[in-house]
Structures are given as structure tokens and as C-alpha cells.
Structure 1
Amino acid sequence: MAPALSHVDWILTTGRQLGLDRMVYGLAERLCDAGVPLMRLRLSMRTTHPLTEAESVLWEADTGPITQSDAPHGLETRPAYIGSPMAVIAETGAPLRRKLTAPLAPSDHLVLRELRDRGATDYFGLPLDFVAGTGGMVIFVSNAPTGFSDADIDLLHRIANALCPIAEAHGNHRLATAIATSYLGARTGQRVLAGQITRGNIETIEAAILFSDIRGWTALNATRPASEALAIANTYFEVMSEAVDTTNGEILKFMGDGVLALFPSDGTDQGRQSTCRQAIAASHAAQGIAVLADLPVPFGIGIHYGEVLYGNVGARTRIDFTILGQAVNIASRVESFCRRLSQTILVSDTVAAIADVPMRHVSTQALKGLDTPMPLHTPST
């Protein structure tokens, strides 16, 4: 029979393939099976993410795996963190061990008191020094009468050294995913992460294209402080993002005071109809969400359906993931009539025919680039 893998070898081979959370859970169970008196194991690390500042994976002997958690920005200002053992480890970059069987001082953080009240006897935290500088830490807590032995402490040092590069690799992957999805959208971001990053890597797809922008943006900027205009723009972007996301679309770009969203189709009759209806549903949703968000400015939405080029364009060292084509231009020009015709939503004749939902004809207009005027409609429900 082959000898069992050491804990360090397991981390570097089997464990690293499991994902961060399952690796931590598996490691905790292996340590307990080997006789290490482990009550709690927590791996926590800083992130570079627009919504979260740190992420943690936590295991406890009483409950087993605990859902991976994220801490929002502003962590350092919270009483639960200020002066805590984790804060001390982050500030000093040094290990921290505290025997909880000894009397606690008045200055000791509430975290240590709560752990002691639950039966913890030994707290041992080690920093994880990442190359990128963000870093993290791993926390081991024991509830054995005498806490961790010297041999346990030596093992936990070696385990932390093995965990460090694995945790950093997972953190880098999460960072790449966060950047791609935050700046490009979930669907497009995944395409980039899958390797579609070469200039000219473009495919032709059919889609419903939604354009929207704030009405009177120039006048708004001229009459309100820049900070107030920015806050209004962000509220508007939030409104459109929620509306598009909940109807299976994707915002491809924020452009000044405007939004370009995409609803890809599989090219079948059913797929065309579905995506056009989704784009219309997003428009209705945006109106409702805007009321709830108390958005103080009106906006227009234009929708067209057609064939677009979807992929990477740009210079050799600076590329952009976007959509191009006549269908994109038409969607933009349809939206430009919203203000002139006093409508919040306008759709092209193509969308009206494909969607097959109640519509009201608003006007027939000449659109730049088209040989014949196009009837414009607004959904009647």
C-alpha cells in the first residue's frame, strides 16, 4: 500500500485541485483525523474587487463547512475588526498566538472572549505573504485542554507555507474574474477569460440591441455640481443594470451618460422573438425601477434587432470588446428619436414584427444610413 500523503503534499497535489473552500474543509478534516485538536480553521485574504474587500473560508468542528463569506469595503472601520487578532496580524505581518486558558486583559478583543466562552483554549494565526502584496492569513483555534502542542505548531507553520501560493493563485483567479465581469459583463467577461483576447477575434451573431441615455445630460451638468451629476448618473446606471440583468441581457458598455446592452439570440424564430421580448421587458423594468430609485431625470430607450460583429477590435496594445454593425447604428438612431417624439421607449419596425406583442405606431422617420423611412413603435403594454 502506498504511504499516505503528508498534509503539505496533499495541499500541493490533491487539495489545490478542489477549489479554495473544499481544500480548506478537506484540510481541516485531515488535521482532525491526524489528532490535531482543531476547533476552527479560517483562511481569509484581501481581494481587489469593486464590491468586496476580503473573502474568508471557515470550518468549525461543531458545524463542519461554513459558507464562504465576503466582507464589503470599509472593513477596517468596523468595531468587529478594529483591534481584533486578525487586524493585529494584518498590521504587523507577524504570527499571533494567544492562550485562552490564561486570564484575558480588559483590552483583549471581543473575538477572543467569544471564542473562550465557546470553549476555545488556543488561538494561532499566521500571515500569508502574497507576491502581489494583498496577502491573507490562516487562523487555527483549538479547544483541547492544553491547546496546540509544539509539534502541532510546527506542522501548522508548514501548512501555512504550503497554503500561501495556492491561496494566492485562487485569489488571482478571482481577481481576473472580477475585473472581466465588472468591466465587460458576465457573459463577455467569461469569453475573455476563456481566451478570446486576440484583436480581430470576432464572430457574427444575431441580437437585440438596446441603447439608452439620459435626456438633458448636457443641461444637467451645466446646472448641477459635478458630484451631484455623477450620483445621478450612477443611479441611472444601477437602474439599467438591474433591468437588463434580470431579463437575461448584458450591459456591454457605459458610454458617458448612455448604456449599450445586448440580448444575444440563437438565430431561430423562437430565439429572435424571445430576445426581442427580453429587451422590451428590460425597458419596462427600467421604468419601474427608476420610480423606486427616485431617479430625478428622464431617459430614453431604443431597441433594434439584427446581425452584429461581436468581439475584439482596437490597436495592437489596446483592445476593446464590443459590437459593430449597421444594427448597432440603427438602435442608436432609434433611441435618438425618443426625446423628439416624447417617448421613453421606441423600437424599430423589425423588433415590432419579431416580438409580436401589442405595439402602438408612433411615427415614421428617416434614419441616417437607411434608404427608406422606418416606422417606429412603442410597446402599448
Structure 2
Amino acid sequence: MTEANLAGLSNHYAPKAFWPSHPNDILNWLVLETSDQRFIDNIFVELCQRLNDSGVSVARASMNFMIQHPQWRGARMLWFRGQTEASFTTYAYGTETTPEYLNSPLNAIHSGAAEIRHRLDDPTIDVPDYDIYAELRAEGLTEYCAWPLNHTLGKRHVITFSSDTPGGFAESEINTLKSLIPAIALVSEIRLKNRMARTLLETYVGPHASQAILDGATRRGSGMTVGAAILICDLRNFTQISDLWPRDDVIELLNGYFDAMSEPIEKFGGEILKFMGDGLLAIFPLSNPDASTNLIAAIREAQINLQALNAANMERGHDPLGYGIGVHVGDVMYGNIGSKSRLDFTVIGPAVNIASRLETLTKLAGRPVLLSEKFVELAGRAANFESIGAQTLRGLEHPINVYALMAE
């Protein structure tokens, strides 16, 4: 997945051809004719092309957003004349404290400036020594302008335009650009909020569940039955750890543990439905014929990650983390469950219960990964499964055959 898709603001397309237009035509297009365009970068590219065709000498332009995303603090779309796509860059948390950002027009706008406008081609004109200006001069640009894109509740983003015409922008060009800023702010806010809603859903309920919710699965009891391989993982001795360790250390440990488990699950096509304290529930839908193979591959990679995490913890004087994983396969009810006003999009059913019981059994069996015979039959009886015999699981009338995953 690209950073652009991750931030969810971008979806490149072939731009439309259009006749040169008057600046008022651009405003009408922005307000009235972009409602069917979902992605702001497509609108941005076409905006810059329309400006060029109307005689505004925009050679370089960017839109800079502060975004709500668990990994990224900000995102920038950058366009140069002649390009049919905008390049996309994301910025990690902490970027806002770097010298590059602090000595930039973006920081000045975020700090309250209503406009940044500087000539770059006249050495007799005194301009701030922003780091980016050397880069712009090297590109042959002659003037740089930046304005805030003011969204609701005080959210402030930035749009910039640069000219390569000798002497910079004409005043008529500046007036045209400034007249479009309110409409650009409105159009960009709608797309940004739509994407933020999707990102927040994906962050808290996962990509498939978020898509189902956005598609209208919001009524209690709505859902479907799906076949899935189910994985439940739990951290050992977490109660003792949380009692003895400082709070921040406990949070850091949990985040490291969940990273070690979650990244392989998502990499191999699983979907994490929920974190439950120090445990997690994930499914691998059987609509993928490789679901069982992928689940085993995810566990093996997670085990490698956990070994590395334990090595790092032991260097800091902490005991290694233990864990238990239970795996089963079957039909589950996948949908909305909860009260009238508070719902959880999750899976329930006997198959989930069996996976949970197998995870609990790992403590008594002394094996970190236990799998049901039904899953082993689906995956194929290979040498890396070892039978530990029939086991009685709480809530089940008859014992089931259980297997341990052997080390490679």
C-alpha cells in the first residue's frame, strides 16, 4: 500500500481536456462541477492546469494538510507544470519539531500568518532565509506565495503557488489565486473529512468492517455468516506486569507486543477485529483459498518478531514475554452486536469460543500454539503439527483432537 493510499487522499487519474477559461469559470467549476470527484489530488491537478490555461503562471503548487492518522502527522501534494499527477509525501509525528519545518513558510502560516509572498529572483529584495527558498531558486522559480486553507473548528492547512515568470506573478494573477482560496478550502475540507472518517473507522474496526459500516451496515443485528480461520492470542502474566511496571513501560510493552503480532496478521491477509486488553482476535476469511496457509505463516513471522522483542526486553532487565495462541476454523456471525446506542462490529459463534478455549489450554499444555483438528485438516496434516491427543474444552460435550504447532 502506498503512502498516498494510506493517507487516502489520492487516487491518480487521467485529467480531462478543457478549453482555456476565465478565472470566474474556474471558481464555478470548483463549486459546482467537482461534486462527483472523491479525491482532492485529482481536483488539485485539474485546478492547476485550468489556472495555466487561463493565463496564471503557476509552475509549482502544493497542498499541505495536517491529517488524523495513527502513523502520519501531515501530508503534502506537490505539482509541477506539465505533470498529470501530483506527487504525494507523508510526514511522521515529530516532523513539526524539526528545523526544516520550524524554518519554513508552513510554520509561519500555521502560527497565524495570513499570507506569505516573496520574490525569489531579485537579490536586492530582502526575504526571510527559509530553507525551501534555495530549492525554489534552483528550480528557476521567481515568486512564492502561501495562504491558509481555513477549515472548521480552527483547523488550518496550507496551499502554495510559485511562478517562473520573470518578475513573478502579476497582481491580476495574485488576485485570481486569492479569490479561489475560500472555494479551495471548502472543497478540500469535504474530501479531507470524508477521508478522516474512513481512516478512523479503519483504525478502530479494521478495513473490511469499516467498509461494511460505510456501506450501510449500521443497524444492530445486521451482518452475515462467513467461513473463517480464527486466531485468538493472549499475553501471559500481564496482570503481574501491569501491577509492577510503570504505566508508560506497560503501554510501550503492549504496543511492541501488538506490533509483533499484528503486522504479520495484516501482511498475510488476516483482519484484526479487536484488541481485548492484552489479547487480540483476528480472522482469515476462507474466501481466500490460502487462508490456513497464510494464518500459519503469520504465526511463524509473529513468533520471530516476539523473539526479537523479548531479546530487547531482556537487555533492559525484563523477563521474556509469554503468549498463547488458539486456532480453529468454522462459520462465524460477522456483524453489529451491542446495545441500541453502542455497537461493536465483531464475530461471534461456537467457532470463536473453541479458538478461545484452545488459547486457554495453551497454559496447561505448555505449548504456545494449539490448533483444532478441523483446522489441521484444512491446512493439511504436515510434520509441523504434533498431536497432543483428545482434549476436553469447557462448554463442549465431547473432547476434540488438538495439535501443537511445532518449531521449524
TM-score (normalizing by structure 1): 0.92
User: Between Structure 1 and Structure 2, how many residues are aligned?
Assistant: 376
- In structure 2, what is the Cα distance between the partners aligned to 1:220 and 1:203? 39
**Matched residue, 1:365:** 391
Query: SS at the partner of 1:39?
Result: strand
For residues 322-381 of structure 1, give each alpha carbon's deviation from its aligned partner in whole angstroms, at most 9, with x where no partner exists.
111111111000011112111111001211122213121023221111111111102345
Moved more, 8-17 or 83-92: 8-17
Structure 2 residue 366 is the aligned partner of structure 1 residue 342: yes
**Matched residue, 2:200:** 179
The one-letter code of the counterpart of 1:10 is W
Contact 2:219 2:336 in 1 (8 A): yes
- In structure 1, what is the Cα distance between the partners aligned to 2:35 and 2:122? 37
**Matched residue, 1:75:** 95
Q: Out of 93, 106, 112, which is 1:92 matched to?
A: 112
Structure 2 residue 72 is the aligned partner of structure 1 residue 52: yes
Q: CA deviation at 1:106?
A: 8.0
Q: CA deviation at 1:116?
A: 2.4
For residues 56-99 of structure 1, give each alpha carbon's deviation from its aligned partner in whole angstroms, at most 9, with x where no partner exists.
21101266634222111123201111031111111115122112
Q: Out of 373, 376, 379, which is 2:402 matched to?
A: 376
The one-letter code of the counterpart of 1:90 is H
Query: SS at the partner of 2:275?
Result: strand
Contact 1:243 1:283 in 2 (8 A): yes
Q: Out of 289, 296, 305, which is 1:280 matched to?
A: 296
Distance 1:36 1:118, change over 3 A: same
The one-letter code of the counterpart of 1:363 is G
- In structure 2, what is the Cα distance between the partners aligned to 1:124 and 1:135? 16
The one-letter code of the counterpart of 1:361 is S
Query: SS at the partner of 1:333?
Result: helix
The one-letter code of the counterpart of 2:282 is A
Query: SS at the partner of 1:160?
Result: helix
Q: CA deviation at 1:175?
A: 0.5
Structure 2 residue 271 is the aligned partner of structure 1 residue 255: no
Query: SS at the partner of 1:26?
Result: helix
Contact 1:253 1:259 in 2 (8 A): yes
Moved more, 153-162 or 355-364: 355-364
Q: Out of 129, 140, 149, which is 1:108 matched to?
A: 129
Q: What are the ranges of 5 or more consecutive residues in structure 2 without an aligned counterpart?
A: 1-18, 312-319
**Matched residue, 2:41:** 21
Contact 2:228 2:285 in 1 (8 A): yes
Query: SS at the partner of 2:102?
Result: coil
- In structure 1, what is the Cα distance between the partners aligned to 2:67 and 2:35? 19
Contact 2:41 2:86 in 1 (8 A): no
- In structure 2, what is the Cα distance between the partners aligned to 1:362 and 1:82? 61
Q: Out of 220, 224, 241, which is 2:241 matched to?
A: 220
The one-letter code of the counterpart of 1:12 is V
Contact 1:120 1:142 in 2 (8 A): yes
- In structure 1, what is the Cα distance between the partners aligned to 2:381 and 2:255? 31
**Matched residue, 2:62:** 42
**Matched residue, 1:117:** 138
Q: CA deviation at 1:107?
A: 4.9
Q: CA deviation at 1:4?
A: 5.3
**Matched residue, 2:8:** none
- In structure 1, what is the Cα distance between the partners aligned to 2:229 and 2:84? 47
Query: SS at the partner of 1:87?
Result: helix
Moved more, 112-121 or 338-347: 112-121
Structure 2 residue 178 is the aligned partner of structure 1 residue 157: yes
**Matched residue, 2:380:** 356
The one-letter code of the counterpart of 1:367 is L
For residues 103-157 of structure 1, give each alpha carbon's deviation from its aligned partner in whole angstroms, at most 9, with x where no partner exists.
3658521112321233222111111111143221210111111211111111101
Q: What are the ranges of 5 or more consecutive residues in structure 1 without an aligned counterpart?
A: none
- In structure 2, what is the Cα distance between the partners aligned to 1:93 and 1:85? 9
1:200-211 equivalences in 2 (<5 Å): 200-211=221-232
Contact 1:47 1:134 in 2 (8 A): no
Contact 2:118 2:127 in 1 (8 A): no
Q: Out of 345, 359, 370, which is 1:321 matched to?
A: 345
Query: SS at the partner of 1:352?
Result: helix
The one-letter code of the counterpart of 2:61 is L
- In structure 1, what is the Cα distance between the partners aligned to 2:355 and 2:52? 61
CA RMSD between the two structures:
2.2
- In structure 2, what is the Cα distance between the partners aligned to 1:113 and 1:182? 39
Contact 2:75 2:90 in 1 (8 A): yes
Query: SS at the partner of 2:168?
Result: coil
The one-letter code of the counterpart of 1:279 is L
- In structure 2, what is the Cα distance between the partners aligned to 1:365 and 1:65? 59
